[in-house]
Chains A and B, each alone.
Chain A
Amino acid sequence: MLLSFIVSGLGVGAVYALSGVGLVVLYRATGVLNFAFGATGALGAFCAHTVATAGYPVVAAWMTALVVATASSYFYGRVIAPSLSTRDLVVRAVGTLGFALILLGFIGWAWGDTPRRLSLPTDGIYFDLFGTRLTMTRILALALVFGMVAGINFMLSRTRLGLEMRSLADNRGLSAILGIRVVSVEASAWIISGISAGICGVLLANLVRLQGLQLTFLVIPAIAAAILGGLSSLVATAAAGVAIGIVEACLSIWPAVAPYRTATPFVVALIAVAVMGATANRRILTR
């Protein structure tokens, strides 16, 4: 029985991982923890659903999600984020929260609370594993985690853009003096984040539900994964996201705990912060 819940948790865990990776890439390049990641993805997902129900092919729906999410993310990164770039981390994060609430309000106004279902062709293909069905959509999500982590790691370590992003993350002021086009590099990071949000938005709308409020605040488990990854390691973030999804699913087995399993990301993040904080203190004391 435990194995079937592990398999069940893989799908949502994969999307937490994808979301976490998207958050870390942006944080490393811009220092912004993007609370609007979920809302950006939600907007993309709702647009994709509208395109799909209008009779257009699935590919068009996917492209719509990516374009809309990327455009929203780029808009924030190019127009609003620069004006907050000299402010401290908390202010820059809260700015994205404000953007998230604006997007959430727009989604509610445009699409209302009509129940919707975002189906994908991969839903109908499945494998039976330990008494549960693993749909191709979930396998796709897992594959995308590997692909995205590998791709972004390659980009960061082997490309000029990646070098510039790492430089920016290390020291923004010095990077500007050295001639790195700060705004352009940051915009690239927002675009990558937007693409990631678009993919995650569609997958989460399929695996969870197509509802603005729900999708917007699924950024919280993603942030928990990012924190576990130290807001720096993509591999650790991805692993953490998958682990959070699996733990959350497995807690269904114990009736006393099951109603509260949505607290898993918060509890995991709290433990991680406490352990990491204690470990850092010990390292400082032993120097």
Chain B
Amino acid sequence: MLVTCTAAAIWLSAGSGVQAQTIRCGMNNGQKATGVPINIGGIVSKTGPDDFSASAGAAEAYFKCVNQNGGINGRPINYSVGDDRWNPETATQLRAKLVDDQKVVAMVGSSSFAECAANAKAYEASNVVVIAGVGVPRECFTSKNYAPLNAGPRLSTVAAAQHLNERDGAKSFVCISLNIPNFGAWACDGIDVWAKANGLKSTTILIDPGSSDANSTILQAAALKPDAIVFCLSKSVIVSLLVAAEQQGIVDKIKFGSGAAAYASDLPAAIGPAWNKKFLTNMEFQAIDSTAPDNKNWLAIMDKYADASVSRDTFSQGGYLAARLATETLLKLDPAKIDRDTVSDALRKVSKFESDILCTSWYFGADAARHNANSVLRTSIVDENAWKVVSPCTKVVDPELADIRAYEQKSGMDR
């Protein structure tokens, strides 16, 4: 009997050891957390022109894993996510509900188009730190309490232009983006400023998100006779512009690139074989199909804890990283003293969060006025209905990053 039980115990331990190797989250002890819940919130733009919810979907999966593996020293995470429907007023209401009513200790895994501008000041006033999976408009990267894991559309678009310049010798650019305040013009301004600083030429074309005439937009861009056209658009608009470019016969006449929004596994097949090795995109994170350990862990957690409808995409990677960062930070705190002030303080002190999903370590920047730590990025190109990474991690050179670079240098960070 004793031998049988011992054998069973050894087998069970070996089993949980195997599980701990394939999926890593939180305390990894296979024990369900049953203590006093820790409230954490997230806000996403799901219902509307595009669905950004994969970030919170991944964060939720990670937190579920954490709760199944000991929680935060025995305390489970109670993760509440709201959909702001791309509406700033709804975003404000959600923030009030999560911060004032549910008294969340932090916001993690957010990815919203509307909430940065709507809520940034309120987060500062409430001493709530936001570790967003993905930030999109300018306010997400210029607010004191808001720190996204991604690079942002401006850096991503500039990086695409830089790659086209370095790889293909492009010297004149047209940047096409959306006429949304603090998004399109801001992102394309990155190429403009970088181009001027390097003796190159750049023009911006802003289009309405609902524009139905991709053909005229492409004609407008091509009429400027650029060496390269760079997009900072949603993937569905990118597809329509590339189709128009193909129909106008300019695939081989002009180079095409995009910020990270184009990096979706289904896009190469959608645009067709004419774009094989001709359309490149910047990537804010690791290749989705990478076999690097943390990337594999992300995919494994998604497979086990996330609904199949949650996209396994770059937004999801951002949400996973945000949740992992928050968990590891909370685990260092005394579980009896986890409150908003201690959590905010601890998150601000994050200085070297490592993951192979990122090119370099991520930091918050406690005394920085704004946060944009992810600024070393990779590039991929369409190759046989898939993406192929074609550049190593490369530092983005955007003159607007001067304050960030100065902070990194002062803090002794190697970028």
Q: Which residues of A contact B (CB under 8 A)?
A: 1, 4-5, 8-9, 11-12, 112-117, 119, 123, 126, 132-133, 135, 204, 207-209, 211, 213-214, 217-218, 221, 245, 248-249, 252-253, 255, 258-263
Contact = CB atoms under 8 A, between A and B. Distances in A.
B236 A113 contact: yes
Given A12-B212, A261-B211, A209 B219 contact: no
5 tightest Cβ-Cβ pairs between the two chains A and B: A209-B240, A259-B179, A262-B208, A249-B216, A259-B206
B147 to A, nearest CB: 27
Given A115-B264, A117-B239, 18 more contacts: A5-B216, A12-B212, A12-B213, A113-B50, A113-B236, A115-B235, A115-B239, A115-B266, A123-B247, A132-B219, A207-B215, A208-B212, A209-B239, A221-B212, A253-B220, A258-B205, A258-B220, A261-B208
Contact of A135 (B205, B213, B240, B247): B247
Contacts of A132: 215, 219, 248
Contact of B216 (A8, A112, A113): A8
A249 B239 contact: no
Given A119-B272, A123-B247, A133-B247, A5 B219 contact: yes
15 contacts: A12-B212, A113-B50, A113-B51, A114-B270, A117-B272, A123-B247, A204-B212, A208-B213, A209-B243, A214-B212, A249-B216, A252-B216, A253-B220, A259-B207, A260-B179
A221 B50 CA distance: 22
A253 B217 CA distance: 10
Give the interface centre of B50, B206, B217, B236 by most chain A CB atoms within 10 Å.
Answer: B236
B59 interface: no
A1 B381 CA distance: 33
Contacts of A112: 309
Contacts of B50: 113
A248 B248 CA distance: 19
Contacts of A209: 214, 236-237, 239-240, 243
A258 to B, nearest CB: 7
A11 B215 contact: yes
Interface string B243-254: 100011100000
Contacts of A259: 179, 205-208
A12 B213 CA distance: 7
A115 B216 contact: no
Nearest to A10: B215
Given A209-B236, A209-B239, A262-B208, A117 B271 contact: yes
B274 to A, nearest CB: 10
Nearest to B270: A115
A262 B210 contact: yes
A62 B264 CA distance: 28
A9 B267 contact: no
Contacts of A249: 213, 215-216
B237 to A, nearest CB: 7
A126 to B, nearest CB: 7
A249 B237 CA distance: 17
A201 to B, nearest CB: 13
Contacts of B266: 114-115
B134 to A, nearest CB: 15
Nearest to B211: A262
A259 B188 CA distance: 14
Contact of A8 (B215, B239, B264, B309): B215
B208 A260 contact: yes
B248 A9 contact: no
Contacts of A252: 213, 216-217, 219-220
Contact of B248 (A114, A133, A260, A262): A133
A209 B179 CA distance: 19
A257 B49 CA distance: 23
B247 A9 contact: no
A208 B214 contact: yes
Identify the interface centre among B215, B220, B235: most chain A CB within 10 Å of its CB. Answer: B215
Contacts of B49: 213
B247 A208 contact: no
A8 B50 CA distance: 27
Nearest to B47: A108
A153 B193 CA distance: 57
B118 to A, nearest CB: 23
A117 B212 contact: no
A9 B235 contact: no
Contacts of A214: 210, 212, 236
Nearest to B271: A117
Contacts of B219: 4-5, 8, 132, 252
A207 B214 CA distance: 8
A116 B238 CA distance: 11
B267 to A, nearest CB: 6
A253 B205 CA distance: 11
Contact of B247 (A126, A204, A248, A258): A126
Contacts of A133: 247-249
Contacts of B210: 214, 217, 262
Contacts of B336: none
Nearest to A119: B272
Contacts of A4: 219
Contacts of A135: 247
